[in-house]
Amino acid sequence: MQSHESHAWLWWIPLLPLIGSAIAGALHLATLRARKNDPSAAAPGTLAPWIACAAMAAAFGLSVKGFFTLQELAPSARQLASTVHHWISVNYPARGEFAVDLSLLLDPLSSTMTLVVTGVGFLIHVYAAGYMKGDPGYGKFFAYLNLFVFAMLMLVLSSSLLGVFIGWEGVGLCSFLLIGFWYEKGWPAEAAQKAFVMNRVGDACFLIGSFLLVRLFGTLDMATIAGAIGRGPVELEPDVQLQVSLAALFLFGGACGKSAQFPLFTWLPDAMAGPTPVSALIHAATMVTSGIYLIVRLNPLFASSGWVLPVIGVVGALTALIGGSTALVQRDIKKVLAYSTVSQLGYMFLALGTGAWAAAVFHLVTHAFFKALLFLGAGSVIHGMHEEQDMHKMGGLRKYMPQTFVTFLAGSAALSGLPLMSGFFSKDEILAHAFAGGGLYWGLWIVGVLTAALTAYYTWRMVALTFFGEERFDRHHVHPHESPAVMTVPLMVLAVLSVVGGVLGLPPVLHAPHLLAEWLEPVTRDGSRILAERAGEHELSHTLEWILLGLGAAIALAFAHTGFHAHKRGTAQDETLTARRPALAAWLADAWTIDTTYKRVILLPLRLVSFVVAVVVDQFAIDGTVNGIGASARDVAQWTRRSATGSLAGYAMWMGAGAVVISLVWMWS
């Protein structure tokens, strides 16, 4: 049903940010050149945000155009494609042709992602224009940020896994560059390196998964793969089933790296070393959701993968719990939000594990709204507090920054799932699906509900510590102030979206259409059908749904109330916990000591092995051998060199001898 008409304009969606990036980069270089001799010279780099924001606005406009073009089509025909180049084509005599095209595909899923990336991305760009003002790397920052958006759009728009991988590596690179943006400070550079290295583990899994898919299907085109599984038999041959399961497992491994899931999540909290707009854009709203996108894109594969789906659910629930519990005790406001992001991403994977594809995307969208808002709000606070991130040194800020405060409240309400907020509906839908799954999923449901309670608690603890209570900063030196309009207006837009975003996916009991699920239905149809045929449908009765909704609302309200009241008077509650249960507090603060365990179990032995390899194996054995070979090569070389004596007669003799020998040999053979 793929429309054969080519939509080359699709390429402008990623290309515009790429062009913006190039211009912003050039402006930055021009600034450097201008400032080389005269530090007070006018900086062309100050134009960079205009360019970058214009590129984002235009890309968003095109995404909207794409959305409406899709909407005019019949649901099953909602696919716009554009192929510009048959990139790779290899003929294997035995297996047929393996071809990869450079092509883009816009369908309901990539359209949703594109709208989020360009829409939320645009707001964050605008905000960053205010936040990064005065930074010496102003132009460079926007060059990186636009480059990131380009890579992210390639990731969500490419129709082949190779294209996705290019975007996947591209966002990884930009994430590295932006986490380490302030590399002169030292620790951001280390955090960037950690993020990069941990992502490589996931990337390797991604590659292995792709290879397995090539082996199975002979192609990397995701629509072809999904279609082949969707049309095939529901029960697979055992060996095919094993390969499908392994491919799905490895791709999920890739998703774990990029989307910060257990056991590869520890880079995300460290990634907060980057400027706050980066945390909002890359480490909350867009890049970290790539893994969810990938799984939804290949949902028939995952639906057919058998035991992999429960594994995804368990990993998601476990990550949600680890993230949620760790966020309880953090003092750094950005760390709270970082662990919260880990936890919410865990929810999305929990949804995927139950086969609730649309619910995962729904939570992805609402999370993009409210978590971007919270990060930007936190950035506004940090900005107003002269780069202070410790909540124990804040307090009572609501009267200094009223706009930030109100919008932050909206974001917190959505994150904690207070009734009728966007996060309430999306989280509830995930929990309802887990509840309906039965068996193992019951256990996951319990973990999910527990995490929901933790979420409400830490969110309102954060609100209370930051905006309420006594002012715990040095009022002689710190003068909190509201941020400029360029920063607060994006906050307001996001606040509205966080509050009303729930209308995208209202639960069935309200007898309203689930807009997002209907929109995504052409993409998720095959996966859902396979799951239904394999495991049977799970429908909840309306009464049960009401009960679950009510339970969710009650838990959110109760724990939000507790969290707020326990902390609104200051840091006493935190100190009590540390005093009474020091071991527990330390264990929680260190994220269940997973990162420390890595250091001890992986990093330390690795360093030891590296040392042995470097000194004994490399310097002694290998260098010795290689140098030996090299030295003998050089001896041979000297000998060869001597053959070029410069004597003409000698050369002619060699030639003559050569002709004679060749003649003789050929006559013989």
Partner 1 sequence: MNPQDLLTLFDAAAMTALAPLIALALGTLAVLACGIIPGGSVVRPIAFLASLAAAAAYCVKTLVDGAPATLVLDGTFQSGPTTAVWGLVFIASTLFAWLYSAHYYEEDAPFKGEHDVLMLATPIGMMLMAGAHDLLVFFIGLELLSIPLYSLAAFRRDRIRSIEAGLKYFLLGAFAAACFLYGAALLYATTGSLSLDVFADPTRRAVILDQPLALVGVALIASSVFFKVSVFPFHLWVPDVYEGSPTPVTALMETGTKAAAFAFLLNALAMLPNSTAGSIALIAVITMAAGNFGALAQTDVKRMLAYSGIAHAGTLLLGVAGSLNGDPARGGAIEAALYYMAAYVATAGGAFGLLALLERENKGTTTLESLKGLAQRRPVVAAALTLFMLSLGGIPATGGFLGKYLVFSVAVRAELIPYAILGVLLSVVALGYYLRVIIAMYMQSPAEGSVVPESRPTPFATTLASVVCAALVIGLGILPRWFLEVM
Identify which range of 62-70, 432-440, 521-529, 640-648 contacts partner 1 by CB under 8 A. 640-648
Distance, CA of 7 to CA of 336 (rounded, Å): 43
Give yes or no for residue 36 binding partner 1 (CB under 8 A).
no
**Which amino acid makes up residue 454?**
L
Which of 68/639 has CB closer to partner 1? Answer: 639
Does residue 458 contact residue 324 with C-beta atoms inside 8 Å? yes
**Could you tell me the smallest distance in angstroms from the CB atom of residue 647 to partner 1?**
9
Cα separation of the two ends of the chain? 62
Q: Does 650 bind partner 1 (CB under 8 A)?
A: yes
Cα 209 from Cα 224, distance rounded (Å) = 16
> In the stretch 597-636, what mask flags binding to partner 1 with x, by CB under 8 A?
---------------------------------x--xx-x
- The yes or no reply on residue 84 touching partner 1 (CB under 8 A) is no
Alpha-carbon distance of 205 to 258, in angstroms, equals 11
> CA 350 → CA 288, 346, 409, 576, distances in Å?
15, 6, 27, 34
Residues 417-476 that bind partner 1 (CB under 8 A): none
383-402 residues in contact with partner 1 (CB under 8 A) are none
Give least dist CB 222 to partner 1, A: 21
The structure tokens 């429960």 sit at: 310
Our CB check for partner 1 shows the closer of 612 and 637 to be: 637
Nearer to partner 1, 442 or 654 (CB): 654
Closest CA to 414 of 482, 469, 340: 340
Task: Enumerate the H helices of 328-401 as residue ranges.
Answer: 333-353, 357-384
Sign of CA dihedral 329, 330, 331, 336: negative
The answer to the question of residue 95 lying near partner 1 (CB under 8 A) is no
**Span from 242-250, 451-459, 473-481, 642-650 in contact with partner 1 (CB under 8 A):** 642-650
Identified binder of partner 1 from the candidate list 74, 579, 583, 665, rule CB under 8 A? 665
* Least Cβ distance, residue 165 to partner 1 (angstroms): 15
User: Taking CB under 8 A as the rule, does residue 94 contact partner 1?
Assistant: no
CA 189 to the chain's CA centroid: 19
Least distance from C-beta 656 to partner 1, angstroms?
A: 8
- Shortest Å, Cβ 221 to partner 1: 17
Say which residues have a Cβ less than 8 Å from residue 588's Cβ, sequence separation at least 6. 325, 326, 328, 329
Residue carrying structure tokens 């594809």: 357
Q: Which of residues 302-331 bind partner 1 (CB under 8 A)?
A: none
CB-nearer residue toward partner 1: 85 or 231: 85
- Identity of the residue, 513 or 630, whose beta carbon is nearer to partner 1 in the bound complex: 630
CB of 93 to partner 1, least distance (A): 8
Rule CB under 8 A: say whether 89 interacts with partner 1.
yes
H or E element: which one contains 30? Answer: helix 12-37
x/- track of binding to partner 1 for residues 40-79 (CB under 8 A): ----------------------------------------
Selected binder of partner 1 within 9, 187, 307, 654 (CB under 8 A): 654
What b/e readout covers 372-407, taking b as 16+ CB neighbours within 10 angstroms?
A: bbbbbbbbbbbbbbeebbebebbbbbbebbebbbbb
Region binding partner 1 by CB under 8 A among candidate stretches 157-165, 470-478, 555-563, 639-647: 639-647
Q: Measured from the CB atom, is 103 or 286 closer to partner 1?
A: 103
What CA–CA distance (Å, rounded) separates 169 from 441? 33
Q: Are 180 and 189 in contact (CB under 8 A)?
A: yes
Number of chain positions touching partner 1 (CB under 8 A): 33
List b or e across 317-350, with b for residues whose CB sees 16 or more CB atoms inside 10 angstroms: bbbbbbbbbbbbbbebbbbbbbbbbbbbbbbbbb
What is the nearest approach in angstroms of partner 1 to the Cβ of residue 660?
9
Q: What are phi and psi of 505, to 5 degrees?
A: -145, 75
Geometric angle at alpha carbon 231, from 225 and 236, rounded to 5°: 85
**Nearest to partner 1 of 579, 644 (CB atom):** 644
Nearest-approach distance from CB 267 to partner 1, in angstroms? 28
Distance CA 370, CA 326 (A): 20
Kindly indicate which of the ranges 369-377, 396-404, 442-450, 646-654 contains the residues binding partner 1, using the contact rule CB under 8 A. 646-654
Nearest distance from residue 184's CB to partner 1, in Å?
23
Q: Are 530 and 233 in contact (CB under 8 A)?
A: no
Structural element, H or E, at residue 82: strand 80-92
Q: Judged by CB under 8 A, which of 86, 95, 569, 581 binds partner 1?
A: 86
Instruction: Select from 42, 606, 616, 652 the one that contacts partner 1 (CB under 8 A).
Output: 652
- Binding residue (CB under 8 A) for partner 1 from 1, 84, 88, 512: 88
Q: Is 643 in the site for partner 1 (CB under 8 A)?
A: yes
- Closest contact distance (angstroms) between CB of 626 and partner 1 is 10
Closest CB 636 distance from partner 1, rounded Å = 5
To partner 1, the closest distance from the beta carbon of 642 in angstroms equals 9
Instruction: Kindly tell me which of 68 and 666 has the beta carbon lying closer to partner 1.
Output: 666
Q: Among residues 514, 506, 492, 387, which one has the least CA distance to residue 132? A: 387
Give least dist CB 648 to partner 1, A: 6
Least distance in angstroms from the C-beta of 143 to partner 1: 20
Residue 520 to residue 525: CA distance in whole angstroms: 8
The secondary structure of residue 6, as a DSSP letter, is B
Name the residue nearer to partner 1 (CB basis): 4 or 642.
Answer: 642
CB of 89 to partner 1, least distance (A): 6
Tokens 């990036």 — which residue?
21
Per CB under 8 A, contacts with partner 1 among 508-537 are: none
Nearest-10 crossing angle of helices 161-179, 138-157: 160
In terms of Cα–Cα distance, which of 164, 144, 290, 272 is closest to 225?
164
Point out which residues bind partner 1 (CB under 8 A).
85-89, 630, 633-634, 636-641, 643-644, 646, 648, 650-652, 654-659, 662-663, 665-667, 669
